[in-house]
Structures are given as C-alpha cells and as structure tokens.
Structure 1
Amino acid sequence: MASAMTTFLDNVTTLQTVVLNVTREPYVRPFDDIGIAISAAIIFTFMILGIVGNVLTILVISTNPKLNNLFMHFIRSLCVSDLISALISWLFLYRRTWGFDIWPPLPEVFCRFYWAADLMTNYVTALHILSFAILRYVSIQFPIEFSKIKLKHGKIWIACIWIFCFVVGFIPFFIFFGARVRDRQSSSPDARWPACTINMEWYSTYTLYQKIAYPICLYAPTLGVVFMCLLIGITVRSRSRQRPGETQKDKKKERKEKQAVLQLCLIVFSFLFGYIPFTAYEFWSVQPRPNTMYYRRFDYWFGMTEYFTLRFSECLNPVFYNLGSAKMRQCTQKFLGKYLSCCRKDKTDGNGSSSKQTDFGV
C-alpha cells in the first residue's frame, strides 16, 4: 500500500514537472537584432513624419487669420496631442527593444512619463474628435445656434478636455506603471511584458480602471463619433434632395458641407484605424496566458503592430486635415511657398559673389 502511494506521488510530481515544462519554457527574448532594426526604422520614420506634419499644421493654423475659427482650434489642439505622441515614441521603442529586460540607464521617471503622457493623449484625441463631430453636426443642422458659439467658448472647452484627461489619464498611469526587472519564469502576466510596464501591486486596480475609464474616455467617444458621422451624412443628403432648383449660393453651401463631411470621415477613419488595435491589445495583454515562447512572441509583436498602426494613423491626420479642406490646402501651400522662397533668398544672399559672376558670364 505504501509502495503504491509512493508510486502515485512520484507520478503526480512527474506530471507537474511536465506541465511546468510545457507552460514555462527557458526564457528567450521574443525578438532579435533584425526585429529591433525593423522596429527602429518604422518608429523613427513615423516619429519624423509625425513631428514635421503636426508642427507644420500648427504653424499654418496659428499664422493664418483665415483659419482663425472654432474647427481649426480643435484641429490645432489635436495636432498638439499627436505631436506629444510622436515626441515620446522613441521611449516606446526603447522599452520594447534595448530596455526590454533592464530599463536603466534611463531614469524610471521616463518610463512613468511615457505611459502617463501616452494615455493622456489617447483620451485627448478621442474627446477632441467627438467634440469636433458634434460641432460639425450643430453647424450643419442648427447654423443659427452654432453662430452663438464663440472662439472663447471653444478654447474653454479644449482646456477642460486637457485638464480632464490629465486628471483621469496622466496621474493614474504615472502611479500604476514603473520600471523593474520582471520574473520571466513566473506565471504572472508581466512575465511577458517589458521592464517598463504596470507594477503588479496595482494590477487589480488597473484592470478595474480599464473597465471604468476606457468605456468613458475611449469607447463611448468612438461610438459617438460613428453615430455623429452617420447623422451628418443623412442630414447633408436629405438637404441636397430638398433643393432641386439650386441657386449658386445653395451649391456653394452644399459643396462646403460635403467637404466638412469628407474631412470628418477621414479623421474618424484615421482614429479607428489606430485605436481599435490599441484597445484590443490592452485587453488581451492583461489576461493570464501560458508562459511559452509562442505567447511571448505573440504578445511582443501584437504590441509592436498596434503601436505601428497608432503612429501611422497620427501621421495621416495632417494629410487628412488638408485633403478635407480646400482653405486649409491653400493656406498650407501659401505657407510652404513663403518659407521656401525665404530659404532660396537666404541662400542667394549667402552666395552673392558667385551669383554675380554667373550673371556676368551669361
């Protein structure tokens, strides 16, 4: 009997060892040098494009009186949000590559700031686009009421969005996240994650936070934006049907409305393209998974891919702002033309002597 019991216990121990070996493979990084090179090339490209595109849009709107209206104030604020995301994107690259296992030599505050700023700008973008869509609908459906909304009201609205997102986004994430060496052999979800990620003592609080804050700051705005787009499209179409004998003024008004719808649809498309993968990864990554190479690689490249789409969508935004507005395109072309002419003039002045020699030679 004792021998049978001993044999049984030995079998149980063997079975446990087999299970552990199946679910816990020896730790190997889920990426290699080629993966680092590809990721760096993509992220640095998007970072440069994002900085140039958003800075250009901010300068064009800020320096041109023709663009001093409510919608352009929201677009400029959106560009500020996208610019912050582009400026901190190198921190994402570092935490996913060279700082994956050990965060130093960078101070931990860089890790906390990255997460806090990244999520704050996500919230800012979602609420700005929802506000933009609401204003578009009001301007088309209720033009008299819309005319009562002044620029100062829009500035207060924008400031409230930033303050709200700082309180509910930046502060919690600055507290929840940190940089530390992760136990790669544990069954904890953070065994798959980079060193700069959520501190596990906040794990249960963070999952609760996700269930409350994400629906309010991301999902509800997303559904609201889609609903407003449909409502605007229906309104513009019904109005065009009600004007069979159009005057020149009606045609001009309808053309402007269609441009407004196009601009909004492009912005919404860019937003959904970037934030649906982001949301999917956020919920997938916090779920317990077997600590195998498959899940480590899947988690790693899922996280990298959703970040690529997010950065790409933010690079598209300045392009879409111009595609959806003829006035914006004209102002951008004028600004670039003025800047390029100034550069050519400075270059000519700097090489004045050689220019004169060429003229005499001709």
Structure 2
Amino acid sequence: MFIAFMGIFCIAANLLTLIVIARKRSLYTKPFNVVLMSLCVSDLLSAIISPLIYYRSPVRGGRNYDLPEFVCKISITVDHWTTIATMLHILSFIIMRLAAVAKPYHFKKFTAKHAAGLVLGIWSGTFGSSGWIKYLTLGLARNKRSGVISCRPLKKWLTLVSQYNTYGVPTLLYAPCSLVIVLSVITTVLLVRRRQRKLARNEAAFVMDQNRAIVQVSLIVASFLLGYLPEIVYRALYASLGHSRTWNIYAFDSARFICLRISECLNPIFYNIASSSIRSATAELLQRISSCGSSACRTTPTPVASNGVDS
C-alpha cells in the first residue's frame, strides 16, 4: 500500500510540476527550469514503470515472471535509461550552476534553447550508449535448476552484458555520481563565498538570490544521494557478490527500491521549495483546479495576453 501511494503521489507531483513550468513563459524560458522539466519527465517515467520493476524484483522470490517478454524488455530498459539520464541531468544542473557562479556574464549567453539541446542530447546519448543494450540483451529464460521463468539477460548476450557492466556502468553511473558530489561541494563553497561578499556590500537582493541557489543545490543533491547512492551500492554489490549468501540481496533490493521512490516523490517538492516562482505558479494552478468545480470557473473566461507574455 505504501509503495502504491508513493507511485501515485510521484506521478501526480511530477506531472503537476511539469505542467506548471510548461504553461508559463517566464518559467520555461529559463535554462535551469528546462533541465528541471526534463528531470520531471524522467521521474514520471520511472514512477509509471515502478510496479513492473517491483514485479521483477528478487523480493518476489522464486515466482515465475508471468508478463509478456516485451514488458520485461521495455520496463527494465526504461528503468536503466532513466537512472542514467537522471544522473547526467543532475550533473549538468550542477555544472550549469557552477558556471553561473564562476562566469556569470558568460553564462547569460546560455539560453533555454541551449538547455533544451542539452537535455535532448542526454536522452538520446544515454539511450544510444546503454538503453539499446538493455533492450537487446533482456528476455524471458527458465532456470534449469528451479524451473522458474525470470526476466534477465539471455545467455547468448552474456559476453556483451559483461563488457557493459565492466566498462559502461562505471563510466555512465559511478563517474557521474562522483562528479556530482565533488562539483556540488565546490559550487556550494563558491555560492557561500559570493554570498558573504554581497552581504558585506549590503546587497540584500543578491544575498537572497545566493540563498535560494544554495538551498536549490543542497536539496537537489540531497534527494539525488538518497535515491541513487543506494542504487549504485546495490549494483556494485550485486556485480561482485550476485546471489551469494554473504549478504541479504532481498533486504537491500527493497531498501534501494524504496529510497529511489522516495527521492522521486521529494524532487518536485524540493523544486517548489527552492524556487519562489515555481511555488507561486503551482499555488496558482492548484487554486484554479480547486475552483473549477464552481460556476465561476465555468463561466469566467480566461484572459489572453495579446503580447505573448504571461498575463
């Protein structure tokens, strides 16, 4: 029941945040918000397929995988694809924030169109480097000893899977995670120093901007570590120990699954906490939705801006 609630909340919260940013020009024209929109898409996809991931989980024990093979292929492919894409989105976000602090005048040339090209490159690049491998190598296979049918890499592709786990996973998962941690510390230190300089000059407006940036980076990285650090540790242990009895694969798999789902639920909340403009737009949209049951919502026409700017 708890997992089902998290899934429903995650889908609703990320979809709401995505709509909030997409419907306001003042929001979707900001490079950082373009990345946040793409992160919402990633969390949304992950939440939608999470029941299928749980169904395939070793927590279910020795039960047959009774779903069609294409469900096996698509669900695991999307899960792995969104994991790597999210990792690179967070890394890109931190690099953008670092560039905005270190080279603010140069970063002003980085527009929403550039950010859109960046996220498009992340999605296409991660699928080209990892997604197709998952889709190609997965299938339904019967265990010769237990007779249980499971969704797993097929025997004919084990060499490719081994090579990917040896070279691809460290490059696409471990390295970006390490960079996120290191660069987030550097970015936070620079933000704090810049805040102190602005504070000494009594520039209150700039101090508030630095405070919001510090909160935003801290919350996004904290949610990232909560969701993906257990995932990385699990993958590393599974690669080295497999189903060895020296560790409890079932308990760890459950823990990392729940941590990832909690992280996906927290992300849209943190986006609203860290951004007053997103928070205000969310409150406005929720108020409009809640009032749509009244006659006023049905009869009052929505004002249309004639100059293309938010009314």
Same fold (TM over 0.5): yes
Q: 1:99 to 1:175 in 2, by over 3 A?
A: farther
Tell me which residue corresponds to 1:182.
143
Report the Cα offset of residue 225 of structure 1.
1.6
What's the RMSD between the two structures over aligned residues? 2.5
Matching residue of 2:211 = 258
For 1:135 and 1:302, the matched residues in 2 are separated by: 34
Superposed displacement of residue 165, structure 1? 0.9
Distance between the aligned counterparts of 2:189 and 2:78, measured in 1? 37
SS at match of 2:152: strand
Tell me the equivalent position of 1:15. Answer: none
Query: Taking every aligned residue pair, what percent have the same amino acid on both sides?
Result: 31
Matched, 1:82 2:43: yes
**Aligned match for 2:194, one of 232, 235, 239:** 239
Q: How is 1:21-40 mapped onto 2 (pairs within 5 angstroms)?
A: none
Deviation at 1:65, TM superposition (A): 2.1
Matches within 5 A, 1:127-166: 127-166=88-127
Q: Distance in 1 between matches of 2:178 and 2:102?
A: 20
C-alpha contact (below 8 Å) 1:70/1:154 kept by paired residues: yes
Q: Name the residue aligned to 2:250.
A: 300
Is 1:222 aligned to 2:222, yes or no? Answer: no
> What's the offset of the Cα at 1:344?
3.2
Is 2:265 the counterpart of 1:315?
yes
User: Are the counterparts in 2 of residues 95 and 196 from structure 1 also a CA contact under 8 Å?
Assistant: yes
1: CA distance, partners of 2:205 / 2:240: 53
Structure 1 runs not aligned, ≥5 long: 1-40, 350-362
- State the number of aligned residues: 297
Give SS of 2:173's match: helix
* Residues 229-279 of structure 1: per-residue CA shift (max 9 Å, x gap): 2122221222233346434xx211121122112112111111111111112
Q: Verify the 8 A CA contact 1:43 1:89 in the aligned structure 2.
A: no
Per-residue deviation, 1:100: 5.4
- 1:123, CA displacement in angstroms? 0.8
2:54 corresponds to: 93
Following TM superposition, by how much is the alpha carbon of 1:99 offset from its aligned partner in structure 2, in angstroms?
A: 9.3
**Equivalent residues of 1:103, 1:180 under 8 A apart:** no
Q: Post-superposition shift, 1:204?
A: 4.1
The structure 1 residue matched to 2:64, chosen from 96, 102, 113, is: 102
Q: Which structure has the larger Rg over C-alpha atoms?
A: 1
Q: Distance in 1 between matches of 2:243 and 2:209?
A: 55
Q: CA deviation at 1:289?
A: 5.8
- Letter of the structure 2 residue corresponding to residue 329 of structure 1: R
Alignment pair present for 1:42 and 2:17? no
Residue 65 of structure 1 is matched in structure 2 by 25
Q: CA deviation at 1:98?
A: 6.9
Please report the TM-score for the alignment, with normalisation by the length of structure 2. Answer: 0.87
**CA distance in structure 2 between the partners assigned to 1:171 and 1:243 by the alignment:** 49
Equivalent pair of 2:291/2:297 in contact (CA under 8 Å): no
